[in-house]
Structure 1
Amino acid sequence: MEREKVAVITPGSFVIPSGRSSSVERVIEKMVPLAADQLHIRIFGLADGHLPSQSWIGSVPCYRLPGGRLYLASILRHLRKWRPDTVDVHNRPLLAHQLKSRLPLTRVLLTLHSTTFVSSSKNHQKACMPQMLESVDGLIVNSEFLKGELLNRFPSLSTPIWVNPLGVSLEDFVPRWTPAGESLRQARLAEFGWENRKIILFVGRLLPSKGVHHLLAALPAILREEQDALLVIVGSSFYGIDRETEYVKRLKTMAEPFKEKVVFLPFTPYPKVADWYNLADCLVVPSGDEEAFGLVNVEAMASAVPVVAAKSGGIPEIVVDGYSGFLLPMEGLTQSMADRVISLLQNEEARKAMGRAGRELARSQFRWQHTADRWAELMQKNYVLSRGADQ
């Protein structure tokens, strides 16, 4: 039987593949090639003037098209010639709506990775959002939280919504608590002059919604109990750009009294960021309520590092409280964060047990192959006919 044809449309924000892209491009790069034995797939992304107009992501061809206003027209030319059975548009409701209106007989799905593009501050986009979401044949989201958010914001929405949690490549992360992991860790700690330090790690964009200010506010209490603690903050406000915003300046002002205890490191491209997880005694994720999934959680788990996270958004669907880490209520977050970090830094056996538990959860539930298999099933054109009533 001939494989069904699926076109995957990236947001047109970043080139793929690229370690300096957003998590959306990473999801596509990691997940899609794993489904190539089940589907005939083409990826359409953005040209940057350096990479060729066509190359391969694994065994899947990737076409890089002119961006901006030319992106829609370029995609349409390819789709009309190739005639896919399904088009999966990532994180761009307007683009999905435009493609469906011009290709009414083609099955068009919209994959949403966050609430960003359904929370537009532009009034005309807010007014049109229900129409955009209703126009497509199905919605794919990465967490039950995000599905609930869509249904809360658009109560009359009748478009089918399916949840497909994201994954991690275990082979990209060297886990703690193995001879190889500990040897690598000790060598790198010595390289940085951080021997005998206990590493608290944050990885992510430096935005108010990511809550780094909560972590810095908890630091004095942590240092009173653990003088050897070192907070390592890896990230920037923008992907691949280290320009300082007012928020970043605020964070550095908060860190000023603790010069030897806080290190700010620039955005680190994937998979090199795995080196920082290997150093960590715990990862802290103080994100606010709009965190739909958070790849950093599964990346830390793949590294056998316990996670201390806010009980918000889709994070409770990943981190098991008291097993692979700790989930903290937003109320009183600063104090509870300090308490949980201190408890982990003072108890190596707890760090080891939670780290190993997280690694096993990542292996059994959050691998990219799991995500790819679910996605391949969703791409089958008969899936909507047989499951369309499921919400």
Structure 2
Amino acid sequence: MHILIVAPEQIPVPPVLGGSVEISILAIAKRLAQNHRVTIVSRAHSRYPRHSSIHGVEIYRVPTGSPMTYLSHVQRFVKGKRFDLVQVDNRPRFVGPLKRTLGSTPVSLFLHSLTFVGPPYASRATAAKGLSQANVVVANSSSLKQQLSSRFPRSSGKIRKVWLGVDTKRFSPVRRSQSSRAFKVLFVGRVIPRKGVPVLLQAVKRAQSASSRPLQAIIAGGSTRSGYLGSMRSLARKLGVKATFLGTVPHSRIHHTYRKADVLVCPSQKHEAFGLVNVEAMSTGLPVIASNNGGIKEIVKHNRNGILIKNYRQAQPFANAIAKLANDGSTRKRLALRARSDCLQRFSWGASARRLSQVYAKLRR
């Protein structure tokens, strides 16, 4: 099968720094390319040539701009070419125009979150039209599938779940030297209000009095909100929390950051469709303390491979979990071993590609 994957217009493939959608696109494409012919069309970037080949995946880059300007360049690229299936990632409004350009070629809409099926990016009617025009809609978790089915009941019968994954070789445990007594609490993600960094900092502050080891917070991520990162640094100082703010760490190097930590805390305050950072941490052999919301609870199993926090808007439950893992090395090791095992069995990119291949094979019958 010749599969064309149409990436969004915002971030190039591969991403220069990070971008979970673009990371997922290339990771799955490389595994699909082991059994299929795979082409990606992505936005142009000064760092990349207009065409490159990565692990058997052909990537063509076209000029970007507004979503519809980019789409017009994509349509120009595909015109006159033959594909067996087209996958559009996170852009419902691209589905109809591409179907008209490609005729009878089936089009899949792969959604990674609820962001682009609601305001300000799309009205309910526009998003519903995009879903209805797709031959199949892929959601990256059961939680996202349920949310989409509830919002767009007319398309619920065509929605399929395909979990995302992790590169289990790159994100792998290493033996750490005990050069520091500090218990290192890691956050990875965009530093924006919905990700819960204030809750994390307050939790580290509260956990310190109950911890047998000094605590250190490591914040790996930049911010798109002017001044917000500075306000988080100020909050850490005000609380007296020892915190290191790394800024944006390129995804090509983020595995080194996970290896420096003792636990990942994911205190998301709003729905997370999947939560890629959780599987990256788990694959690295880190226990995860995470909000019990959205698709996170499909990955993190309470007291099996991590700890889920039900009252995730409050700092104290996170503080209790941090102190527990700082003080209890045997529990920490048990959770870490199971986390790594679960990633190897359920959350590899190979598993994601196999499931997606099955969905697309049924579409082609």
Question: Given the two structures, how large is their TM-score scaled by the length of structure 1?
Answer: 0.88
Secondary structure at the residue paired with 2:176?
Answer: helix
- Measure how far apart 1:200 and its partner are: 0.6
Which residue in the other structure is 2:166 paired with? 168
Q: Match for 2:175 among 172, 181, 193?
A: 181
Give, as a single letter, the amino acid of the residue that structure 2 aligns with 1:182: R
Q: How far does residue 81 in structure 1 lie from its aligned partner after superposition? A: 2.4
**Partner Cα distance (2:156, 2:310) in 1:** 32
Q: Once the 2 structures are TM-superposed, how far is the Cα of residue 19 of structure 1 from its aligned partner?
A: 4.2
Pairing 1:305–2:286 present:
yes
Contact 1:138 1:160 in 2 (8 A): yes
The aligned residue for residue 232 of structure 1 is 218
Work out whether residues 134 and 159 of structure 1, in 8 Å CA contact, stay in contact via their aligned partners in 2: no
2:71 paired residue number: 72
Distance 1:331 1:273 in 2: 25
Change (3 A) 1:19 1:170: farther
Determine if contact 1:20/1:270 at 8 Å carries over to the other structure: yes
How many residues are treated as equivalent by the alignment? 362
1:134·1:158 contact (CA, 8 Å) conserved in 2?
A: no
- Look up the SS of the partner of 1:81 in the other structure: coil
Cα distance in 1 for partners of 2:286, 2:156 equals: 40
* 2:149–2:159 CA contact under 8 A, matched in 1: no
Q: How far apart in 1 are the matches of 2:280 and 2:109?
A: 25
Q: Is the counterpart of residue 93 in structure 1 residue 72 in structure 2?
A: no
Q: Tell me, in whole angstroms, the C-alpha distance in 1 between the residues paired with 2:15 and 2:54.
A: 11
- Is 1:290 matched with 2:271? yes
TM-score relative to the length of structure 2: 0.94
1:269 is aligned to: 250
Cα displacement (A) at 1:333: 3.2
- AA paired with 2:168? L
Comparing 253-262 with 290-299, greater Cα deviation is found at 253-262
Deviation (angstroms), 1:137: 0.8
CA separation in 2, counterparts of 1:198 and 1:222?
Answer: 11
The match for 1:140 is: 138
Single out whichever of 24-33 and 157-166 deviates more from structure 2. 157-166
After TM superposition, the structure 1 = structure 2 runs for residues 10-159 of structure 1, keeping only pairs within 5 Å, are: 10-68=7-65, 69-121=68-120, 125-158=123-156
Partner of 2:233: 252
Deviations 1:265-314 (A, max 9, x none): 11111131111111211110011232000111101111111000010010
CA-based RMSD:
1.9
Tell me, what secondary structure is at the counterpart of 2:155? coil
Identity %: 33
Q: Which residue of 2 aligns with 1:389?
A: none
Secondary structure of 2:110's partner? strand
8 Å Cα contact 1:218/1:338 also seen in 2: yes
Q: Aligned with 1:182: secondary structure?
A: coil
Structure 2: 5+ residue stretches without partners:
none
Partner of 1:241: none
